Amino acid sequence: QVQKGDAMMALQRLAPGSMDVIFLDPPFDGRILKALQASAQAVVPGGWVYLEAPVAWQAEALAACGLQPVKYMKAGAVHAHLLQRPVEG
């Protein structure tokens, strides 16, 4: 199922661990951290979060959100991050 709309509102309605992949594309008006935390809760263990941001996110900050970086690239002013919720166990 594809959902389009306000990311924060959509993330707040998702059941924990109910998504395989989430795409986050700004603007977030300073709410990227909250969006990452909500995304980490919403994806299944092993699930993916794709984030476009105005800055590169460091592994430590992502780990604090419950996500680990898998791939990073920069294209112009966009920092693209492919993140994964670790599989526990």
pLDDT score for 40: 95
pLDDT score for 69: 98
pTM score: 0.88
Encode 10-71 in three state secondary structure: HHHHCCCCCEEEEEECCCCCCCHHHHHHHHHHHEEEEEEEEEEECCCCCHHHHHHHCCEEEE
pLDDT score for 50: 97
Percent of the chain with pLDDT over 70: 96
Secondary structure of residue 59 in the 3-state scheme: helix
- Please tell me what DSSP assigns to residue 78: E
Nearest to 35 by CA among 72, 5, 1, 7: 7
- Convert the pLDDT of each residue in 38-79 to its tens digit: 999 999 999 999 999 999 999 999 999 999 999 999 999 999
